[in-house]
Amino acid sequence: MGVRARRYCAAGIALLLATTVVSPPAEAQRRYGGGEQDPQPQKATLAIVGGMLIDGHEGRPVPHSLILIDGSRIVAVGTRDTLKVPPGTRVLDASGMTVMPGLIDVHVHMDTLGHTDYQHWHQTYRSRLQEIYDVASRQLLTYGVTTAVDLGGYTPEIQNFKKRIAAGQVVAPRLKFAMGFISNYADSFIPTWHRGYQTVNVHTVDDARAAALKWIEAGADVLKAYDGLTGDQVTVIAEEARKKGLWVTGHVSNPENAIARVQAGQDAIEHTGGLSYGSTVPPELIRVLLQRRTIIVPTMLISTVQLDAVDWPEFWTDNQRATSTTPPDIWADIRASLEHPERVLTNLGGFVRRDSVERSRAIFKQLREAGIPMLIGTDSSTPLNLKTDAVWREMEQFVLNGVPPMEVIGLATRRNAEYIKMGPDLGTVTRGKFADIIIVDGNPLANIRDLRNVVAVVKDGKIYREPTVSPTATSNAATVAKNPR
């Protein structure tokens, strides 16, 4: 794929925009075609044998693949013809299925599970946040998300959760945290806001710098610039983030605010609602987004989830993926809140508004045609937005809006990894990278919904979920344990 030039016209001003479609790296093009091959390792702890490999580079899929893992890293990638399974190696049999990198969600909230009443949820479960984190982690990892970015929560509980992960007390995806929010609201609003206890509310540039330093000191990997901030306030937040190698993402209020924030150094924008008036993104904002190479995380799902729930309520009220991974008392509370999705106070404004969905699609199309980079983030678990299904449903929205499935998979793997500054270690099935790999029963290139059918999850070379193991494919005929190992 090459470079296409498009002409974007608005308000009588013609802008010539270059849309670059990234070609698969040379490494991906030559690895399996009879050229350079990964050498045969003498030992491995795990082999994933068979299956069609979609390696994340967006090149041609590899049939009959074979991946060798030693400890936490991939040591060789090839096919059954180019590699052999070393003696004593455990084997996951992926025959007839798809093998691909673990999915990366760049916008989640670990402290919510899809309940439709935010105030009730935070009042009821604030004292049970460690349990909620455990459930959220299990849901993400079980259904293929091996890395996620938590964009705002309650810092003391996040710090405790990180300690539990480090101590091996909880199974979790690889997580990056914004810790809390930085907002600029009226002080009187903060006690009434369901996330008021998680934010530093600022009014001056000095306040904004102090807030950034507070979250950095608390251990933030990214800073979340929330509602109400000015360009000057974002400038100092971005300055402090750069000093520590962090990035800044957040909301925007309107196109003028978006321009000010992007020019101030905000790297990414969450959601598309503040980018336009009606369904049109102003040309001057398009120009700035392109100049600054700003990332948009459109979270298309939050504009469609209510309509989907109205049309198919059983998917939510009787979702077996959610019920099987949530404690019964918590699920009973969530389920009761899902009974009348048409009444839910969501991003649609509290009632079914199909025009909101059409506006979000029009904005997405405009950004796409302009060449603005967009990535996969779900905002799970906003109301109705269950973590068990959020990523494949967001990826489906990209496909429904014209993005080819292979490119969408690349967004949810390699390009998301690059965005969160983990490209050298994650995002592709490549020798030397962490062994974060999933096996899907189906072909997501033919139907992206097949990503619902994750049957095996490997993270850091450990098996967290597994398909049937072929006894004849491993030299010691051992069965893979059900617990992570």
Determine, yes or no, domain membership for 56. yes
pLDDT digits (tens, 9 = 90+) for 346-404: 444 455 567 788 999 999 999 999 999 999 999 998 899 999 999 999 999 999 999 99
The stretch 230-259 carries a mean pLDDT of 98
pLDDT digits (tens, 9 = 90+) for 171-208: 999 999 999 999 999 999 999 999 999 999 999 999 99
The stretch 439-459 carries a mean pLDDT of 98
C-alpha R_g of the chain = 22
The yes-or-no verdict on residue 18 having pLDDT over 50 is: no
The pLDDT assigned to 287 comes to 98
Q: Look at the block and give the residue holding tokens 């690889």.
A: 174
Give the confidence band of 209 by pLDDT, cuts at 50, 70, 90. Answer: very high
- Whether residues 216 and 112 share a domain: the answer is yes
The pLDDT assigned to 2 comes to 39
Task: Please tell me the distance from the alpha carbon of residue 52 to that of residue 392, in angstroms, as a whole number.
Answer: 19
Q: Is the peptide bond before 381 cis (omega within 30 degrees of 0)?
A: yes
- Whether residues 407 and 267 share a domain: the answer is yes
Beta-bridge mates of residue 13: 10
- Whether residues 172 and 123 share a domain: the answer is yes
Task: Please tell me the distance from the alpha carbon of residue 475 to that of residue 276, in angstroms, as a whole number.
Answer: 60
Determine, yes or no, domain membership for 318. yes
- Whether residues 76 and 157 share a domain: the answer is no
Higher pLDDT, 289 or 341: 289
The pLDDT assigned to 36 comes to 65
- Whether residues 412 and 434 share a domain: the answer is no
Split into its structural domains, the chain has a count of 2
Say if CB 141 and CB 172 are below 8 A apart.
Answer: yes
Q: Domain range for residue 374? A: 103-419
Task: Please tell me the distance from the alpha carbon of residue 470 to that of residue 51, in angstroms, as a whole number.
Answer: 13
Domain end point (choices 374, 402, 419): 419
Task: Please tell me the distance from the alpha carbon of residue 139 to that of residue 368, in angstroms, as a whole number.
Answer: 31
pLDDT digits (tens, 9 = 90+) for 273-315: 999 988 999 999 999 999 999 999 999 998 888 888 888 888 8
- Whether residues 150 and 285 share a domain: the answer is yes
- Whether residues 97 and 128 share a domain: the answer is no
Look at the pTM and tell me if it is higher than 0.75.
yes
- Whether residues 189 and 92 share a domain: the answer is no
The pLDDT assigned to 153 comes to 96
Determine, yes or no, domain membership for 9. no
Determine, yes or no, domain membership for 12. no
Least confident of 25-29, 225-229, 231-235, 326-330: 25-29
pLDDT digits (tens, 9 = 90+) for 110-144: 999 999 999 999 999 999 999 999 999 999 999 99
The pLDDT assigned to 340 comes to 80
Cα torsion through 53, 55, 61, 64, rounded to 10: -30
The yes-or-no verdict on residue 90 having pLDDT over 70 is: yes
The pLDDT assigned to 467 comes to 80
Determine, yes or no, domain membership for 15. no
The pLDDT assigned to 94 comes to 97
Q: What percent of the chain has pLDDT over 70?
A: 86
The pLDDT assigned to 355 comes to 76
Determine, yes or no, domain membership for 14. no
Q: Which CATH number is 50's domain given? A: 2.30.40.10
The yes-or-no verdict on residue 1 having pLDDT over 80 is: no
Least confident of 19-28, 62-71, 336-345, 471-480: 471-480
The yes-or-no verdict on residue 26 having pLDDT over 60 is: no
- Whether residues 97 and 164 share a domain: the answer is no
The yes-or-no verdict on residue 444 having pLDDT over 80 is: yes
Determine, yes or no, domain membership for 172. yes
- Whether residues 42 and 166 share a domain: the answer is no
Determine, yes or no, domain membership for 2. no
Q: List the structure tokens of 99.
A: 């093998």
Alpha helices in 126-277 (DSSP H): 129-142, 155-166, 205-218, 231-243, 255-264
- Whether residues 341 and 466 share a domain: the answer is no
- Whether residues 316 and 442 share a domain: the answer is no
The yes-or-no verdict on residue 477 having pLDDT over 60 is: no
Q: Which CATH number is 193's domain given? A: 3.20.20.140
pLDDT digits (tens, 9 = 90+) for 41-87: 999 999 999 999 999 999 999 999 999 999 999 999 999 999 999 99
Alpha helices in 244-375 (DSSP H): 255-264, 283-292, 301-311, 313-317, 320-323, 328-337, 354-370
Average pLDDT, the chain: 89
The yes-or-no verdict on residue 27 having pLDDT over 60 is: no
